[in-house]
Amino acid sequence: MFLKGKARKPVSISIINKLDQGVIESGRLIFSFGKTRVLNENAHELPVRIIAGKSQSYFIYSLPQAKRLIIVGANDNEGYLHAFNTLKQLIDKESKHITITILSITLMLKPGHSSYR
């Protein structure tokens, strides 16, 4: 992903395997995608049970104690696709910094609906 404007430089992305307090307090935005240890350790605070068994359902969630940690979970690949499209729409590409404002998003499609618009 590239920022628009005069300073067209790539966004720095790091992949980490261990999430500790130093990483959380670093001031960087952290994403946890999929069935990770972060999701498993915080499942009781996430809408995992709400979307369970519902095709294409997903959530994008930020925990109160770690607001810069964004946890993205879904039931299937289509759910992750919808989650990533939602994240893409939430990114402010016009500013010099990428900013995302999220408290929580949980989407469940009604039975019989194969997609949303």
Instruction: Supply the DSSP symbol for 55.
Output: T
Q: What is the domain partition of the chain in residue ranges? A: 30-107
Most confident of the following: 12-21, 25-34, 36-45 = 36-45
Average pLDDT of the residues in 41-46: 90
| pLDDT, the chain, mean | 75
Question: Bigger pLDDT: 113 or 27?
Answer: 27
Is 0.75 surpassed by the pTM of this model? Answer: no
Q: How confident is the model at residue 86 (pLDDT cuts 50, 70, 90)?
A: confident
Question: Bigger pLDDT: 51 or 29?
Answer: 51
| Cβ pair 72, 59 in contact under 8 A | yes
| Cβ pair 74, 83 in contact under 8 A | yes
Fold of 30-107: Chitobiase; domain 2 (3.30.379)
